[in-house]
Amino acid sequence: MQQKSLIKLATILLAVGAIGAAAIFGLKGSEHTVYVEQEQIQAAIDGKLPYKKPFKLIFELTVRNTKVNLTEGSERIGATTDVELNVKLGEKLKNLGGTVGAEASIRYDQEKFCFYIVEPEITDVKIQGVPEEYTDRAAAGTKPILQSYLSDVRVYEIRDNNLKLKLAKAVLKDVKVVDGKLALTLGY
């Protein structure tokens, strides 16, 4: 009798193990794509505006009116933003304004089930009153400020608990703008 019980127990354990392995291997190679609307990204960035930051007692940078741009087929989020520089020239403050273009990547946080903006790069700087030969210096000075402003902005959070279980160990495999939306593909 004891031998039959052991055989049944072994059979049940093997069946459970086979089902578990099938579930694990069944998820391997599968992918799930999340689509994020441009408006959602815009709202996430707008939540940080206006953004003001002093820089080494030389100037204060204010960022306003950031406009998100999703270019079809791109793997990055584009944006243009209005900037104001209050520059100290001796005892006087000079107010300069302009625009900055930037692009950024996306990262996925497996523990929080969220997508964040990361690695922003400045692509274009136009500041009124700053000659072309100083634009690179202005870009270099504003780059760390803009990176701190744009980095780790949460653009999307997965809230579906069933989907969270499926994507607990997923990694971000692909980012691409498709039909005006940011397509974020997760997989194993």
- pLDDT, tens digit, for every residue of 6-47? 555 444 544 444 444 444 434 445 888 989 999 999 999 898
What does the pLDDT look like over 110-134, one tens digit per residue? Answer: 888 889 998 888 888 887 877 777 7
Q: Higher-confidence residue: 50 or 132?
A: 50
Calculate Rg over the CA atoms of the chain: 25
Superfamily of the domain at 31-187: Uncharacterised protein PF07273 family, DUF1439 (3.15.10.40)
User: Structure pTM?
Assistant: 0.73
What amino acid occupies position 165?
L
Strand (E) or helix (H) holding 94: strand 92-109
Domain ranges across the chain: 31-187
Buried residues in 78-99 as b, exposed as e (16+ CB within 10 A): bbbbbbbbebeeeeeeeeeebe
